[in-house]
Amino acid sequence: MKNNRWIINRIGLLNFWYYDEEEFDFSGGRLLLRGANGSGKSVTMQSFIPLLLDGNKSPERLDPFGSRARKLENYLLGEEDTGEQERTGYLYMEFKKARSDQYLTLGMGLYAKRGRPLDFWGFALTDGRRVGRNFHLVKQTGEKVPLTKRELKNRIGEGGEVHERQKDYMAMVNRLLFGYDQLEEYDELIKLLVQLRTPKLSKEFKPTVIYDILSNSLQPLSDEDLRPMSEAIENMDNIKSRLDQLKESKKAADRLGREFDKYNTCLLWEKAGKYLESAAEVAKGEAEEKRLEAAVEEYMQLQQTAEAKLAALKSEQEALEVKQRELIQHDAFRIAEELNKHTADLEEWKKEKEQKDGALQQKEEREVKIRADLTKAPIRRFSSTVRLGATAVSWGDTPMSRFTCSGSSVILYPPTTASPSVGFVRQESILITVVLPAPFTPRRENSSP
Q: Which pTM does this prediction carry? A: 0.48
CA distance 386 to 396: 9
Task: Return the axis-axis angle of helices 207-217 and 183-196, rounded to nearest 10°.
Answer: 150
pLDDT tens, residue by residue, 16-48? 888 888 999 999 889 998 888 877 787 788 888
CATH fold for the domain made of 6-179: Rossmann fold (3.40.50)
Q: Are 99 and 1 in contact (CB under 8 A)?
A: yes
Asked if pLDDT for residue 192 goes beyond 60, the answer is yes
Q: Which helix (H) or strand (E) holds 379?
A: none
Q: What is the largest CA-CA distance in the chain?
A: 205
pLDDT tens, residue by residue, 91-130? 999 999 988 889 999 999 999 998 888 999 999 999 999 9
Task: Please give the C-alpha separations between residue 123 and each of 108, 134, 245, in angstroms, as whole numbers.
Answer: 6, 16, 63
Q: What pLDDT is attached to residue 152?
A: 94
In degrees, rounded to 5, the angle at the alpha carbon of residue 181 between the alpha carbons of residues 180 and 182 is 95
- Res. 443 pLDDT band, cuts 50 70 90: low
Grouping H, G, I as helix, E, B as strand and the rest as coil, residue 139 is strand
Sequence ranges of the domains in the chain: 6-179, 221-297, 381-449
DSSP-assigned letters across all residues of 312-360? HHHHHHHHHHHHHHHHHTSHHHHHHHHHHHHHHHHHHHHHHHHHHHHHH
pLDDT tens, residue by residue, 362-416? 998 988 989 888 887 655 544 444 444 444 444 444 454 444 444 444 444 455 5
Q: Which amino acid is at 234?
A: E
CA distance 16 to 31: 20
